[in-house]
Structure 1
Amino acid sequence: MAKLDEIAELLTEEINGFEKSIGRLEKVHEDFKNHPLRPDTSELNALLKEYGNNQNNNIEKQQRLMERILHKVERSVLLPSWAIKLTWGLLVTVLLVLGFSIYQVSRTSKKEEAAFIKGRDSAMGHYGTFFEKSPEAKELYQKWLEEKGKK
């Protein structure tokens, strides 16, 4: 039984110590309740305001950049550069061929005249040679010309 008395005595001492601790906690709790606690958020507010201003500036810059990009896209041509170069090359080629064709057509009458003269001279030379080799044909031809001239 002595042991039980010892254990009971220890338990009562522990309970008394526990009650004292609870009393102290209640007192501290009351002190905290009565103590006015006001957090200082002025630095946090300043940081948030600065961050908000920076965000607004960034948004405005992005909007200006987007407007410039959209303006350039609206003005841009939807053709690739190689297609434009090819078109210009074909246009120059067509103009050169057309100019050369017009030049050749304008020279056609001169070429025809030169070919006629060359053909006439060649025929006259051929007939001249023929008449030199056969004088009888020459006399018959001259008679024919005289008879034709009289009609």
Structure 2
Amino acid sequence: MAKLDEIAELLTEEINGFEKSIGRLEKVHEDFKNLPLRPDTSELNALLKEYGNKQKNDIKEQQRLMERILHKVERSVLLPSWAIKLTWGLLVTVLLVLGFSIYKVSRISKKEQVAYVEGQDDAIEHYRTFFEESPEAKELYQKWLEDNGQK
């Protein structure tokens, strides 16, 4: 029985130590309850408010930009690439034809002059051959020149 008494005494001491610990905890708990500790969230609230305002401004700016983009897209005209290529091809063709026409027109006076000289030479050669083949016509022509030259 001595062992039982010893165990009972140990249990009693442990229970007393446990009760003291609980008392201390209750006292600490009451001290914490009575502390005027209030969390200060004013800085956190100010940061959140500033962040919210910034987000609102960013959203407004994005909406404004999106409206501008949509307006420009609505006003734009979409052309297929083949139409653009065809237009450029026609433009190049028109410019080439116009350039060639200007070149040809600028050379007309030179061609006329060359044709006139060739025609004159051909006419003189033709009359010369005619007068050589028919000497009577030559004599009549010279007589006519002399009559006209005297008048």
TM-score by length of 2: 0.55
Counterpart of 1:54 in structure 2 is 54
Alpha-carbon separation, structure 2, partners of 1:76 and 1:84: 15
Tell me the SS of whatever aligns to 2:48. helix
User: What does residue range 66-105 of structure 1 map to in structure 2 within 5 Å?
Assistant: 66-87=66-87, 89-90=89-90
Alpha-carbon separation, structure 2, partners of 1:27 and 1:10: 26
Counterpart of 1:3 in structure 2 is 3
Alpha-carbon separation, structure 1, partners of 2:18 and 2:3: 22
TM-score by length of 1: 0.55
For 1:75-120, what per-residue CA distance to the aligned partner results, in whole angstroms no more than 9, with x for missing partners? Answer: 11122344233145458869x7xxxxxxxxxxxxxxxxxxxxxxxx
Tell me the SS of whatever aligns to 2:37. coil
User: What does residue range 133-148 of structure 1 map to in structure 2 within 5 Å?
Assistant: none
For residue 69 of structure 2, what is the amino acid of its counterpart? I
Counterpart of 1:64 in structure 2 is 64
Alpha-carbon separation, structure 2, partners of 1:83 and 1:36: 80
Alpha-carbon separation, structure 1, partners of 2:85 and 2:79: 10
For residue 54 of structure 1, what is the amino acid of its counterpart? K
Runs of 4+ with deviation above 4 angstroms: 90-94
1:22 aligned to 2:47? no
Size of the aligned set, in residue pairs, is: 96
Tell me the SS of whatever aligns to 1:36. coil
Counterpart of 2:110 in structure 1 is none
Consecutive unaligned residues of structure 2, counting only runs of 5 or more, are 98-151
